[in-house]
Amino acid sequence: GFICPLCMKSHGSAEELFKHYEAVHNSGIDSTHGGEGHLSPERDEVSLLRQEVQDLQASLKEERWYSEELKKELEKLQGQRQQDSKSDGLTTATSTESLERQLEEIQVENFNIKQMKDLFEQKAAQLATEIVDLKSKYDEEISLREGAEQKVTNLTQELQKERSTVEDLKTELLQRPGVEDVAVLKKELVQVQTLMDKMTLERERESEKLKDECKHLQAEQANSEATINQLRAELAKGPQEVAVYVRELQKLQSSVKELEQKNQSLTEKLLKKEQDYTQLEEKHNEVSVSKKNVQASFHQKDLDCQQLQAKLSASEASIQRLQAELSEKGEAGQKLKEELSEVETKYQHLKAECKQLQQQREEKEQHGLQLQSELSQLHSKLLETERQLGEAHGRLKEQRQLSSEKLMDKEQQVADLQLKLSRAEEQLKEKAANSTELQHQLDKAKQQHQEQQTLQQNTTAKLREAQNDLEQVLRQIGDKDQKIQNLEALLQKSKENISLLEKEREDLYAKIQAGEGETAVLNQLQEKNHALQIQVTQLTEKLKNQSESHKQAQENLHEQVQEQKAHLRAAQDRVLSLEANITELTSQLNESKEKVSQLDVQVKAKTELLLSAEASKAAQRADLQNHLDTAQHALQDKQQELNKVSVQLDQVTAKLNDKQEYCAQLEANLKEYKEKHLYLEQKTEELEGQLKKLEADILDAKSSKEQALQQLQQQRQQSTELDLRTAELSKQLEAAREAMSSAKLELQKKSEALEQAKQQISKQEEEKASLKQNLEKSTQDTSKQLKELDCKMQAATLELQQVKLEKDNLLKDLTATKDKLSKSSESFKKRKEELEKEIQKGKAAVAEMEKSCQEVKHQLQVQTETVAKERNELKNSLEKKEGISKQLSIELDSARAQILEIQGLLKEKEKSEQHLQGKLRELKESFEQKKKHSETLQAELKTALLEKAELENKLQQQSILSAQELKAEKVKLADLQKTHEKHKENMEKLQLDLYGKESELLATRQDLK
């Protein structure tokens, strides 16, 4: 049957195999995305397979035409024969025999044609299996490409982590400008660079592996092309053979004309053989029916080829989609690179800002004394800030409206990201299924490998048994050879004895004839015979005993030799296994040594990190001690100032009543803002409902093709309107720039005043609460005023410290905000320029989309003229158009959102100033985390060293044990070989003794005879 290369299931025909592959294995092809380098060879393979299918179809058509012509000629011959049989009555036996021979030859030729057709069908099936194998290889290459992409993503993540660590180290360098710290950081940077070099080397190695795989696939493709060329050559031979058949038919026609002249004399004999002829016609009809069946099967295969062509066209469309998606991903990668460069520039700006902040701290400590004198002036400015608060509230309303619009845009972005996540999860599931299938295949391969090992062991055992049998046979042959040699020696001795006996007999005959001592001679002969019989009986008994003992000794020795040989072979197998174990252990030792060397390098690096961390800790301790000393001096100064503050408390009580009324007004304004915020949230919910309705309307709009075309025309009109709007917006942006420059100055002034007012209000509320408590206590407890005054003095000192710190922070924030606003204005200008470039890109994309729409229209006109079978392709093209229209609408929405984001950039930059303060706190927390991480690294190093020592001890013990076992087995082998040699020598001696005794026995027997 036809076997699937992925799941190894057998199928009855090539069609079933194609259906199985498309239903089970071809589902992951559309979801996966391969590279351009892999797609180009697959396209070439698909085009080659198409050409082969077309060549096969052409050859099949030619064969059909030839077969039809042969049928027509056969029918003509049959008609001519029938007419000849009716008209002519006299035929000869020779002509009928020639006709029968010709019929048999034609039948043989038909049978050969059938065999050729069967061969072509088998070749078509082989091509189908090769196509399935190529598809499976294509899937494997796509999975390899995905694995490489995942590795690239992992490497990029690791690079980002390393960049973040480098940035943290740079921040620590700025905080700790010591010479030793700088040297340590340089070492760490060198280590990071070495890691980066290693990563690049690994990437190059992976690329080389992929290139090698590509070369291997190209070689396989060349082999497949060679097989295809062979098949084409065989197909080319087909029409030549048919031409030969046509020539033979022409010769037959000429012979038929000659036979027509002879048929006049052969009509009588033909009448007798008409019955035989009718039987032959029935057989011919059966052959024609079988030919018709073959033609029907060819027709079905033509239909299958057409289906394959349709599938190939669908696969090409999917490949084009994949290429488009790859190009989109490349553009997205370029955008990400540009964003990374922007982030790096921002990081450099932040470094410069940190340096400026450190310089400003030193300046602010000097200006702290001057700010105490300016506090009295700030009280007079509070009235002005109250007037400005009203204006600020109006602007806050506008900001909230803009923030609600931004929320809508961000929610849309979140929905798009959720869709992408769902798609990624589906792809992960498909990859997991592919991995499970691969694991099953690995398990099957392992089972097959184990079975092969068992078969090898069985065959080795059988070979050993055969060797033993051969040795026994050879031993028996040697024994027989030696017996033959002994018998030959005995024959020579017996001949000599016979010659001697003949001489004695002649002497006896002579004596008997002479009549001298007949009785004495007879008596001597009888005595000799009796003595010889006794000797023969004794010798025969001895021979039997010796032969039995000798046979037993031979069998025992043979069994011992076989056992020793078995022991030798088992020992050799053990030696081989031990040598393999030794090689594995040596490889493990080398790997462990490499790991130990790597761990030593890591230990050195981490010890250097620990030393640097300890040095930084010592520097921080010195700084903390200096801060404690300065704080103690400040406390002494503030105790002196407490006396002055007690006088100012009376003045503050009068101002508190005025500020309480102002706070009540602020609370009323806050309630109004909260109500407005709730109203805006309700509006957002209503807008979300409208969005859901719009999505339902979009789904309904997909159902009809005519509405889709109308929407495309409307979108073109909208694109033209958008071009006009973008021109208007560019003009408005230029006008807005001038307005923004003026608004920036006002915002800077009012933001400073707002922050100062808010901070003063918070401070005054705290002071009001503390003063209320103090007044109540003073009216109730007059006797305890001295004790309470001491407590108040302590509380006042703490409050003064807080006030001074807050003043310092306010001054720092003011200077920082001024610098940041200047920088943000520059970045805002850059952002505007980038957005203008993006708008131009969007226009170019709209023009390209219009061209693509025109091309799609042309395709629709062409597709309406094609056959009804291409309706599926029309549906696919309409779906593509709908996707393009969606993309246009999304791009229009994104352009609008970008215009709104331009307006909200100023507000986001104000928030970024607040984030900078949070980042300074996060840097301190990250420093503490690094301390903890260094401690964990120390613990891990200790555990790694212990594990390394244990591994070394285990490996040394294993190597010692294996060496001892080898030595013991070598000693055993030497002993066995010695014993084997001794047994051989004993066997040879025994055989020699046996042969001598057998020769003696034979000599005695001959003497007796």
Task: Quote the pLDDT of residue 499.
Answer: 78
The count of other CB atoms within 10 Å of the CB of residue 73 is 16
Q: Using alpha carbons only, how large is the chain's radius of gyration in Å?
A: 54
pLDDT at residue 558 tops 50: yes
Q: At 90, phi and psi to the nearest 5?
A: -110, 120
- Least confident stretch, 483-492, 521-530, 677-686, 835-844: 835-844
Per-residue pLDDT tens for 325-337? 666 765 765 665 6
Cα dist. 604→608, 865, 941 in Å? Answer: 6, 77, 10
| Residues 411/777, Cβ–Cβ less than 8 Å | no
Q: Is the pLDDT of residue 122 over 80?
A: no
In whole angstroms, give the CA distance from residue 276 to residue 283. 11
What pLDDT was estimated at residue 33? Answer: 44
Dihedral sign, Cα of residue 565, residue 570, residue 571, residue 573: positive
Tell me which long-range contacts 467-474 makes (C-beta under 8 A, separation of at least 24).
468/562, 468/565, 472/558
> What's the confidence (pLDDT) of residue 832?
60
pLDDT higher than threshold 80 for residue 138? no
Give yes or no for residue 930 having a pLDDT over 60.
yes
Predicted pLDDT at 121: 74
Report the pLDDT averaged over residues 357-373.
65
Segment 117-135 shows an average pLDDT of 75
- Residue-wise pLDDT for 213-246, tens only, equals 777 777 777 776 777 677 666 666 655 655 665 5
Rounded distance, CA 99 to CA 259, Å?
9
Most confident of 169-183, 646-660, 968-982: 968-982
Give pLDDT tens digits for 719-741. 566 667 666 665 665 665 666 66
3-state secondary structure 211-269: HHHHHHHHHHHHHHHHHHHHHHHHHHHHHHHHHHHHHHHHHHHHHHHHHHHHCCECHHH
Angle, helices 36-87 vs 93-175, to 10°: value is 170
Residue 661 clears pLDDT 80, i.e. is over it: no
Mean pLDDT on 865-871? 57
Q: 775 versus 658: which is more confidently predicted?
A: 658
Q: Could you tell me the pTM of the whole model?
A: 0.22
Collapsing DSSP to helix, strand or coil, 803 comes out as helix
Cα angle 692, 693, 694 (rounded to 5 degrees) comes to 90
pLDDT confidence of residue 35: 42
Q: What is the pLDDT of residue 703?
A: 60
Instruction: Give the model's pLDDT for residue 28.
Output: 44
State residue 13's pLDDT score. Answer: 73
What pLDDT band is residue 887 in, cutting at 50, 70 and 90? low
**Residue type (1 letter), 939:** A
**Quick check: 83 and 272 in contact, CB under 8 A?**
no
778-826 residue pLDDT tens: 556 655 655 665 665 566 557 656 666 766 666 676 666 667 666 655 6
Residue 747, pLDDT > 80, answer: no
Residue 21 structure tokens:
């592959």
pLDDT tens digits, one per residue of 250-287: 666 666 666 666 655 555 655 665 666 566 666 656 65
- CA 910 – CA 509 distance, rounded (Å): 156
Terminal Cα-to-Cα distance of the chain (whole angstroms): 79
319 compared with 657, residue with greater pLDDT: 657
Q: What percent of the chain has pLDDT over 70?
A: 35
Question: How confident is the model at residue 676, as a pLDDT?
Answer: 67
Determine the Cα–Cα distance for residues 144 and 133; give it in Å rounded to an integer.
16
Q: Per-residue pLDDT tens for 47-84?
A: 676 677 677 767 777 777 766 777 777 777 777 766 66
